[in-house]
Structure 1
Amino acid sequence: MVKEPHLVILREPNSRLIGYARLVEESAEYKTTKLNEFFNDKNISLDALIGICTDGEPTNTGTHGGIIRRFELLLKRPLHWFVCLLHFNELPFRHLFGVLDKSSTTGPTSTTGKLSKQIENSEALPVVSDFQRMALENMPPVAEQHEYSTDSQYLYDMAHAISNGVVSVDLANIKPGKIVHSRWLTKAARL
Structure 2
Amino acid sequence: MWKLELHLGRKLVWLECNLHTGELLLRHLIVDLDSATDMDINPNFTRIFVGPPLIRLHDKIIQDLSTDQHYGYRIVCAVRDGVLPAMLALLEIRPVNHSHWLTTGNRLLRLWVSKHKLKGKNHLKNLQFIEEFIIGVYYPCWFNVKVKHSSQEIDLCIQ
What TM-score do the two structures reach when normalised by structure 1?
Answer: 0.38
Kindly indicate whether structure 1 or structure 2 has the higher relative contact order, using CA contacts under 8 Å at least 6 residues apart: 2
Larger strand share, 1 or 2 = 1
| Bigger CA radius of gyration | 1
